[in-house]
Amino acid sequence: MNSQDLQNLQLIQIASERIRNVERPLSVSSVSPFINNSTILSSCGVLCLNPTQESINQEGNTQREKAMDVNMLQRTYSDLLTSLFREGILNQQFTELQQLQDENNPGFVYEVVSLFFEDAGRLINELISNFNQQAVDYKKIDAYVHQLKGSSASIGAEKIRSVCQTFREYYDKNDIQGCYNCIQPLNQEFVTFKSKLEALFTLEQQIVAAGGSIPMMRH
Amino acid sequence: MASSQVVKVLIVDDDNFTRRIYKTMLFRFCFEITEVEDGKNAIQQFVDGNEYDLVLMDKHMPNMDGVEATRTLRGMGIPVKIVAITDDASSKDTFMDAGANKFLLKPLTFSMLTDILKSFNFLN
């Protein structure tokens, strides 16, 4: 191999590297500034590509892969949402919220649920903090739980609403121990709700980023 | 109806995203919406000369609850349609005696709201 051949091989390696780093194959014309030996060009299959046909084939494969990705994401989303209803974490009110979302309010569900995360998180922290004080203000605690019950009912957070209901029943019977025993389950239900809804919203973002639409489901 | 053609609604609820949900529902009808956090501020709206066609009134609120706000508005001779919306089912009679036009249990759904608006002829 003479020095010219060696130089051509080096150029082929550079051009091949550039081809691997782009989505579509380079056309012969784009690599020919590097290699002006037509024999090497024609013998290098990776360089001598019919840009039209190969581009179309590769484009078709890419689109099929993307469609499969979107389908998989949508199935995962539907499965997760179905499980949230089946486990009683969400109820029909959540579906009502989804139906309120449209082109005028594209991020409505995300917005109200994010507000709930903030409000409920604050209320639960206040509850825990109040219960840990020497002089517990049960009236204040009841007010917090009442607010949490209302907001969880508004967005369809069924398990959280249910624990709040149980708390208020204990409160009405002056059963302080019963009230206290509700706090830890309430916090746990909130943590579970938050993590599952965050996973749901992440899937939504991935579906939209992949060019798909969010599946609407009836429950 | 209030002087303009647009239906004017006053949302009275101490929970900010309950108000957000109601607003989103009502925006679908292109209504003009005002929101306040308690009964006292609701009364102040009318004292300030504002006119409304419909009030969505919660019950449990700080400063002044919904029943007292309803009673006060009727005492002022305000004929606005008042819809009580609360999770306290036992307060229905109290609300109606105070002068509410309708009583609904939370959570409010879009179809419940539509039925109410139709019954008041706000959907023309």
With CB atoms and an 8 Å threshold, state whether A99 touches B15: no
Q: Specify the pairing of strand B8-12 against strand B32-36.
A: parallel
Partners of A117 on chain B (C-beta within 8 Å) are none
Partners of B109 on chain A (C-beta within 8 Å) are 93, 96
Rounded to whole angstroms, the Cα distance separating A97 from A81 reads 14
A123-132 pLDDT per residue, tens: 999 998 988 8
Rounded to whole angstroms, the Cα distance separating B25 from B21 reads 6
Q: Per-residue b/e over A29-58, b at no fewer than 16 CB within 10 Å?
A: eebeebbebeebbeebeebebeeeeeeeee
Comparing A86-90, B13-17, B33-37, the range with the smallest average pLDDT is B13-17
Comparing A27-36, A204-213, B45-54, the range with the smallest average pLDDT is A27-36
Average pLDDT of chain A?
79
Closest Cβ opposite residue B107 in set A108, A115, A153: A153
Report the side by side order of strands in the sheet with B81-86: B32-36, B8-12, B54-57, B81-86, B102-105
B24 to chain A, any CB pair closer than 8 A? The answer is: yes
Closest Cβ opposite residue B110 in set A100, A108, A147: A100
Question: Does the ipTM exceed 0.95?
Answer: no
Closest Cβ opposite residue A100 in set B14, B17, B25: B25
With CB atoms and an 8 Å threshold, state whether B14 touches A105: no
Q: How far is B18 from chain A (nearest CA, A)?
A: 6
B15 to chain A, any CB pair closer than 8 A? The answer is: yes
Report which of residues B24 and A2 the model is more confident about.
B24
The residue in chain A having the minimum alpha-carbon distance to the alpha carbon of residue B109 is: A96
Res A142: pLDDT: 87
| Total-model pTM | 0.73
Backbone φ and ψ for B35, nearest 5 degrees, come out as -130, 140
Residues with Cβ within 8 Å of residue A165, at least 6 apart in sequence? A149
Res A133: pLDDT: 84
Q: Quick one: tokens of A133?
A: 């004080």
Rounded to whole angstroms, the Cα distance separating A37 from B43 reads 89
Rounded to whole angstroms, the Cα distance separating A200 from A204 reads 6
Bridge-partner residues for A90, per DSSP? A157
Report angle CA A90, A88, B17 to the nearest 5 degrees.
25
Report angle CA A136, A138, A139 to the nearest 5 degrees.
135
The answer on pLDDT for A114 being more than 60 is yes
Q: Is there a contact between A153 and A160 (Cβ–Cβ < 8 Å)? A: no
With CB atoms and an 8 Å threshold, state whether A105 touches B27: yes
With CB atoms and an 8 Å threshold, state whether B18 touches A154: yes
Res A14: pLDDT: 56
Q: How far is B49 from chain A (nearest CA, A)?
A: 31
With CB atoms and an 8 Å threshold, state whether A155 touches B15: no
